[in-house]
Amino acid sequence: MRARRFIICVSALAALAAVPSCSPSHPDRIVVGSKNFTESFLLGEIIAQQIEVHTHLQVERRFYLAGTYICQQAILAGRIDVYPEYTGTALTAILKQPASGAKQDVYQRVKSEYESRFGLTLGPSFGFNDTFAMEMRGEDARRLNIKTLSQTAAFAPQWRAGFGYEFMERPDGYRGLAATYGLHFAEQPRIMDLGLLARALKDHQIDLAAGNTTDGLIPALDLFVLEDDRHYFPPYEAVPVIRQQTLQQYPEIGQALAQLAGKISEEEMQRLNYAVDGQHRDAKEVVHEFLRAKKLVQ
Amino acid sequence: MSFLVSYFQFILQNHSQVLELTLEHLRLVGFSTLFAMLIGIPLGIVIAHRPRFNKPVLASANIIQTIPSLALFGFLLPVPWLGERADRLAILALTLYALLPIIRNTYTGIRGVDPAVVEAGRGMGLTESQLLFQVELPLAVSVILSGVRVAVVISIGLATIAAAIGAGGLGEFIFRGLAMVDDRVILAGAIPAAILALVADFGVGWLERRLQPR
Amino acid sequence: MQPAADSPVIEFRDVSYRVGGTQVLSGFNLQVMRGETLVLLGRSGSGKTTSLKLVNRLLSPTSGEILVKGVSNAEGDVIRLRRSIGYVIQDVGLFPHFSVERNIGLVPTIEGWSDDRVRARVKELLKTVGLAADTGQRYPHQLSGGQRQRVGVARALAADPEILLMDEPFGALDPITRDELQREFLLLQQRLSKTVVFVTHDLREALRLGSRIALMEAGRLVTVLAPGEFLRSADPLASAYVRAFGEGLESAANRGTS
């Protein structure tokens, strides 16, 4: 009967839908994700190679995912098992809480929320903070003997500042900074394209800029990052986020990641970023070299 | 030519990921089409039998279609429960988009059944459900399936956009390839998606022809 | 209580039917006796098809009642009612996706007859309506108009109903086929003696097939007459009909034997 055939068609479609969701996503494979900027996929590659060398597991890379939300969705759905995140980002973008507190505080809060709400956990921090960096020319810092942001307040009226659009707009950006440190510049800060800020600083067009602490150009152009002594900027510690289920299934991953704890300093991350962005070297090679230097691989 | 070679090498090296993303894609399309059929076909039957409702129902489905898909994904993000998991959200959105062709074709298919046939059937003493399942639906099934075919092909395309909100599927290759500025990665998503659409169109089309009443 | 043989099989009591703003039927009173062929004759809009559909409750009267075998058809199961009445319409309405055999055997099948019994019945019916035995395997689209309507009649007779409702069944056929089917209908009626209500606008057909002719106009019953009486009737509408149809009506009234 026709009706029967119709029901068969519907059931076939239903089966088609059900089958992929029944099969395990990726048995015996670990999928490492990353966001779509250099530092993120460098960290992803570090995680990947570390797991490949220290465990018998096959690693698949799913890099260049278009942002925090995408990565979160992917790891919740089990499409990726681990990816590098920043504690501050996790706190504000995923957990939707205000970013404040000391490094360890934020780390613990994120870890416990992730464990209770998402079945995810954090590995130990890689060892660096990728947060906003207030940069000045190295020569000026040495000459004026300035090390902290508090010390710049005295000189601010004589300086011109240059910031990216987002830094100007964000509530935890320029406005809060100026208030916290009592900074008053001669003119309104110039809003510039992020890529041009370092050059402008070098060329004396501006005297203070907002960048990232792990920016590859910092050592290259002899820029100095001022210490955030009043802890205005929230901590953005780089950490691996991993599914608890994956960790339970393959505890060797936990051991492999533990070896990375604290192994990357801000300067080292800057150098890695520069090698890829500035020197256009192959990321895989750069990572392999780095891991060898750290005696983590042969 | 060398691009083609390097493309195929890429597919071969990453075949497990291509397969995985294809299955993810099929899951999004499969569930949403199924739900759209479960909602749309009965709804189409109802409005075919009670023409009073046909304007509001068809108009609503039409309005949904005019919302740009990425915008619809965006609207649904803040919704509790739905917004928490991108694939739930994507499946809902894809279901909504699949509704119009399915409802409309069910309506047209049932209305297209020769009224003399329906009158004779009713006059002979067929119950309304016998009339529906033994006469109207079998005669309308080909038209209904053509609506399903359109829905499936649309869904396969829209599902590539769902990757933008984290639902996975072949669109993820496309977005990643764009960020990496790597054509092979883009095509690793685009070509399988196109092939899926062609296969679906051909496959359901074949079924349509098989089930056409003489 | 009247003896069964005398009571009408179908009776319309003061029936009216109104739809939208139109009074399609008013004050309709009519009795149909066992074994007769009652023809409802009238122009389009006279209410004849509506009256037919009131019998098997495809339509419900606005007021009044229709009794089938002495019981109001508003009570009881409408499905049972319809399955006990054969229904033949002008467009035939064969199910295009069923074979001829399946079309004819539909009501018996859903009534639970065994496959063998159905098959035997279909064979018998094909013979009765003058179709070749292998017609059963064919599909409606492969048949001519005349063959299709024969199948329609066979289908209506399948569960051996007492009553047949026929709505201009031969109207869409060419004159030669129509003549053939009319002749065969008469033979069938002689054999089966069903109670038939037959709707037509063709006086010739009415005179040939009907045992009585109920003339309708604008939703009202004008007069009920036997064919011979009709021809000689003084009623203005009846005579207008006779005039309009011109020659050869006498022979039609004599059942087509010229």
Q: In this prediction, what percent of chain C has a pLDDT beyond 70?
A: 97
C82 and B125 in contact by Cβ < 8 A? Answer: yes
pLDDT of C72 > 70? The answer is yes
pLDDT of A98 > 50? The answer is yes
pLDDT recorded at residue A26: 66
B121 and C80 in contact by Cβ < 8 A? Answer: no
Please give the model's pTM, rounded to 2 decimal places: 0.81
Tracing tokens 């005297």 back to the chain, one arrives at A207
pLDDT of A3 > 70? The answer is no
pLDDT of B27 > 60? The answer is yes
- B172 touching A, CB under 8 A? yes
Q: B interface mutation test: which of C106, C107, C164, C166 has the most B CBs within 10 A?
A: C106
Chain B residue closest to A16 (CA)? B30
The pLDDT tens digits for A121-180 are 999 999 999 888 899 999 999 999 999 999 999 999 999 999 987 788 776 788 889 988
Q: B interface mutation test: which of A1, A8, A11, A21 has the most B CBs within 10 A?
A: A21
pLDDT recorded at residue A5: 62
Contact B18, B11 (CB under 8 A): yes
The pLDDT tens digits for C141-163 are 999 999 999 999 999 999 999 99
pLDDT tier, A22 (very low <50, low <70, confident <90, very high otherwise): very low
pLDDT recorded at residue C4: 55
What's the gap in Å between the CA of B54 and the closest CA on chain A? 24
pLDDT of B206 > 50? The answer is yes
Neighbouring chains of A at 3+ CB pairs under 8 Å are: B
Contact A277, A76 (CB under 8 A): no
B20 and A25 in contact by Cβ < 8 A? Answer: yes
Cα separations in angstroms, A58 against A79, A241, A286, B58: 15, 19, 21, 51
pLDDT tier, C166 (very low <50, low <70, confident <90, very high otherwise): very high
B16 and A29 in contact by Cβ < 8 A? Answer: yes
The pLDDT tens digits for B41-61 are 999 999 999 989 989 999 999
More confident residue, A219 or A142: A142
What's the gap in Å between the CA of C229 and the closest CA on chain B? 33
Of C71, C106, C114, the C-alpha closest to C87 is C106
pLDDT recorded at residue A6: 61
Measured between beta carbons, the chain B residues lying within 8 angstroms of C85 are 125
The pLDDT tens digits for C96-146 are 999 999 999 999 999 999 999 999 999 999 999 999 999 999 999 999 999
Contact B94, B171 (CB under 8 A): no
Chain B residue closest to C58 (CA)? B123
Q: Mapped to the 3 state alphabet, what secondary structure does chain A carry?
A: CHHHHHHHHHHHHHHHHHHHHHCCCCCCEEEEEEECCHHHHHHHHHHHHHHHHHCCCEEEEEEEECCHHHHHHHHHCCCCCEEEEEHHHHHHHHCCCCCCCCHHHHHHHHHHHHHHHHCEEECCCCCCECCEEEEEEHHHHHHHCCCEHHHHCCCHHHCCEEECHHHHHCCCCHHHHHHHHCCCCCCCCEECCHHHHHHHHHCCCCCEEEEECCCCHHHHCCEEECECCCCCCCCCEEEEEEEHHHHHHCHHHHHHHHCCCCCCCHHHHHHHHHHHHCCCCCHHHHHHHHHHHCCCCC
